[in-house]
Homo-oligomer: A and B are copies of this chain.
């Protein structure tokens, strides 16, 4: 029969090329305000930990730091894969920060939306292997981050849920959220889940294919490392070209309609009825806290 050429060819992979560069410490850490990044240079694997309590919401600042960190890793020959996880208990990311979408100027909405787009374009189109280690709930934009990775491992706790629940808030997931979702769970599951704004408890998320596997919380990082090793066993170049072939159509669609999509968002979010809904929602959240 035919066997793999070799499982980790020294001629392939950016980590390999690094060996001819200057000698480096085995682990490098760089942290900014909202994200902690640890890069293990011997394995070529970085870990990005969201550390923006209370709920890792995707504010403009968070998104900017996220994109900068991703770009840094993308351009670092020592890095071939990244595990994205949370440093905040019980929450992976709560999604887009509502305060960025309420009572601001049109210019602000546009800037914010461009940052959301940029984040997705970078994660979904990354040349690195991307694994979401989902150690808490992950609604809306938080779910999108996970959906944009190559593989999703979630803690098996049924109290943690994940989904594109935008419809529950009276808003609509944009087409590229939808495209990403359909690529993973198929048209029918996506149609039902998006219309109902479903937040799927971990076991259900696994059943519909939204996440690839469930593990006990204490095994999460170990399992992420094992899966990462499996993906990194492939030659980078072939894996990257294959990934691009699978995702290009959906990525290109946003790139081609980016300004129009920003325009749609700013018009929609500026509507009085939507602003009112968001205010009611924030007031409800405040009351819950007290």
Question: Which A residues are within 8 Å of any B CB, using their own CB?
Answer: 1-6, 9, 11-12, 55, 90-91, 94-95, 137, 139-140, 150-151, 161, 165-173, 175, 178, 182-188, 190-192, 194-197, 209, 212, 230-231, 234-235, 237-239, 241-243, 245-247, 273, 276-277, 280-281, 284-285, 288
Contacts and interface: CB of A to CB of B under 8 A. Distances in A.
State the majority secondary structure of interface residues on A: helix
A245 B1 contact: no
- Closest CB pairs A-B (n = 10): A4-B168, A5-B281, A167-B238, A2-B139, A191-B246, A172-B241, A170-B235, A1-B137, A183-B187, A5-B169
A166 B238 contact: yes
A171 B245 CA distance: 13
Contact of A9 (B190, B192, B195, B277): B277
Contacts of A190: 246
Contacts of A4: 165, 168-169, 197
Q: Copy number of this protein in the oligomer?
A: 3
30 contacts: A1-B55, A1-B90, A1-B94, A2-B140, A3-B284, A4-B197, A5-B170, A9-B280, A11-B273, A11-B276, A167-B235, A167-B238, A169-B238, A172-B241, A172-B242, A173-B245, A183-B187, A184-B187, A185-B188, A186-B186, A188-B209, A191-B247, A192-B212, A194-B242, A194-B246, A195-B234, A195-B242, A195-B243, A196-B234, A197-B234
Contacts of A194: 242, 245-246
Given A165-B2, A165-B4, A172-B241, A183 B192 contact: no
B246 A172 contact: no
Contact of A183 (B191, B231, B243): B191
B246 A170 contact: no
B230 A196 contact: yes
Given A137-B1, A234-B195, A12 B91 contact: no
Contacts of A246: 178, 187, 190-191, 194-195
A166 B4 CA distance: 9
A108 B192 CA distance: 38
